Amino acid sequence: MAIGPEHASVSVPAERRRGSVCFARRGPTKSIQSIISRARTGGFFLKTGCVSACTKDPICFAPERRGFQFRSDGTQPSGSGAAFFREVFRVGRLSEPQSFVISVPVTPDASALLRWYDHHRRVLPWRSLPGHRPDPYAVWLSEIMLQQTTVKAVIAYYERFLTHYPTVQDLAAAPLEDVLHLWAGLGYYARARNLHACAKRVSERGGFPDTVEELLTLPGIGAYTARAIAAIAFGRPVVPVDGNVERVTARLNAIEDPLPASRPLLARQAALLNDDPVAQSRPSDFAQALFDLGATICTPRSPACLTCPWQTSCIAHARGIAAQLPAKQPKQARPTRYGAHFLMHDNDGQILLRTRPPTGLLGSMDELPGTDWRSTPWTDEEALTHAPCLTHWVRRGEIRHVFTHFTLYLTVYEACLPQSHNAGIDSSFGTFRSAKRAALPGVMKKCLALTKQTPETR
């Protein structure tokens, strides 16, 4: 018999519900996997009981093997168990004795993870100390900042925000431009606009709601963030599934389906981690322990399985495939775009800046005036027809900036406002302002940095 272990969720009777993942020596078909995934009431093992009735050797539960095993003597399954048997084991007809194993790995022990967390938890500025109530404002602010960004990059921004806006009411009362200015450099600027809008709503309603459903109604709060705030700040027993938790879940269950298609399956499996009453007794710590496990032990490239509190429950570790999971679909090549921007100085040390439209990429952020970003490079001649005025523009060079969906090359030109230019600059190019007060995104900061370089360092 060919060995081809596959996974599937399976419902385990409550008294044995230490685990929820099953794999068979002969894999369940996709359709049966989804049936099993949906089954939550113990029906699976009732059905295996039917199979047992069709075989001479009884199914036996083998706790030390963490699963069920049985052997057929070649007798055909019959009755309601027959179809199930054939589907699960992809066996049409039996003609000789065969062995089957359904192993049910022990659900990772929440107590082991929490014990590990109590000793090794990361100290983070937004995280409450053991025994203290988490501050919903700190949890929310950090979770919004951490979307698409690393902890290391966020810490300085988080501390700066808290210094300027110690409470959600302070943030709500601040002008949007100031918030964008503080956010500049952190990327994904729609988050900053939503942060401000959310602060206003929370301030108006007198505080953060404490359920996932209500949190989801606030600007900028999606499924993950709602669950993270509900679990961490309000002790709701839900599992927020970020990249760390996805990775841990994929490995614990040896789920080999590639991301992003496997995301719904991973979310279902991650939710089952919460079945352990111990996890439910400390939802805030359990969620953060999962984050820390993924960030410090179950890392993307080289998981430190030997020090992992869940090593004995991990199928990927047992099968030696931990570092290969989660699998990812090959990325599509990122398209390239090109543009040109103009740095113009006036006599008062200010530069010409305009504000981008409020929606779309880099919405409401400031920028140097420039051309569209298109798929073909601009010649100097072409680009200079888009300059704010006719003067002697010096080509300073080119910067490269990678957005999620495309790579951008920008040519930067620099000039001073000519003394003779009495007509002023058309307002569509912006106004002369101090760069220090501007909400400049990273890509524009790169343009400015380029013009400050000496020719040798360029």
Q: Which of 143, 246, 367, 414 is catalytic?
A: 143
- Quick one: which H or E segment has residue 61? strand 60-62
List the one residue from 154, 287, 298, 353 that touches ligand SF4 (CB under 6 A). 298
Longest dimension (CA), the chain: 102
Pick from 108, 101, 103, 24: nearest CA to 63: 103
CA distance 152 to 156: 8
List the one residue from 21, 252, 270, 399 that touches ligand SF4 (CB under 6 A). 252
Stretch that binds ligand SF4, among 13-21, 39-47, 168-176, 295-303 (CB under 6 A): 295-303
Q: Is 310 in the site for ligand SF4 (CB under 6 A)?
A: yes
Q: Is 322 in the site for ligand SF4 (CB under 6 A)?
A: yes
List the one residue from 10, 308, 351, 387 that touches ligand SF4 (CB under 6 A). 308
List the one residue from 25, 196, 236, 251 that touches ligand SF4 (CB under 6 A). 251
Residue 298 or 362 having the CB closest to ligand SF4: 298
| Min dist. Cβ of residue 451 to ligand SF4 (A) | 47
Stretch that binds ligand SF4, among 37-45, 262-270, 315-323, 404-412 (CB under 6 A): 315-323
Residue 199 or 245 having the CB closest to ligand SF4: 245
Residue 310 or 413 having the CB closest to ligand SF4: 310
Q: Is 316 in the site for ligand SF4 (CB under 6 A)?
A: yes
Residue 300 or 335 having the CB closest to ligand SF4: 300
List the one residue from 110, 314, 344, 440 that touches ligand SF4 (CB under 6 A). 314
Count of residues making up the chain: 458
Alpha helices in 239-282 (DSSP H): 243-252, 263-272, 277-281
| Min dist. Cβ of residue 306 to ligand SF4 (A) | 8
| Min dist. Cβ of residue 386 to ligand SF4 (A) | 52
Q: Interior CA angle at 256 toward 251 and 261, to 5°?
A: 110
Say if residue 5 is preceded by a cis peptide, omega within 30 of 0.
no
CA distance 217 to 194: 12
List the one residue from 303, 326, 339, 430 that touches ligand SF4 (CB under 6 A). 303
Stretch that binds ligand SF4, among 97-105, 296-304, 350-358, 385-393 (CB under 6 A): 296-304
Residue 204 a catalytic site member: no
DSSP secondary structure letter of residue 297: I
Q: Phi/psi at 202 (nearest 5 deg)? A: -65, -40
- In the stretch 258-277, what mask flags binding to ligand SF4 with x, by CB under 6 A? --------------------
Tokens describing residue 355: 């504000």
Pairing verdict, β 60-62 and 67-72: antiparallel
Question: 125 Cβ partners below 8 Å, 6+ apart?
Answer: 142, 155, 158, 159, 162
List the one residue from 86, 227, 236, 317 that touches ligand SF4 (CB under 6 A). 317
Question: 368 Cβ partners below 8 Å, 6+ apart?
Answer: 341, 342, 343, 351, 352, 353, 354, 412, 444, 447, 448
The side-by-side arrangement of strands in the sheet containing 98-103 is: 6-9, 21-24, 98-103, 67-72, 60-62
| Min dist. Cβ of residue 248 to ligand SF4 (A) | 5
CA distance 451 to 445: 10
Q: Which CA distances in Å does 58 have to 53, 69, 71, 97?
A: 8, 9, 8, 13
Stretch that binds ligand SF4, among 24-32, 193-201, 244-252, 447-455 (CB under 6 A): 244-252
Q: Is 89 in the site for ligand SF4 (CB under 6 A)?
A: no
Number of residues interacting with ligand SF4: please give it, by CB under 6 A: 14
Q: Is 195 in the site for ligand SF4 (CB under 6 A)?
A: no
Annotated catalytic sites, by residue?
Answer: 143
Q: Which residues bind ligand SF4 (CB under 6 A)?
A: 248, 251-252, 297-298, 303, 305, 308, 310-311, 314, 316-317, 322
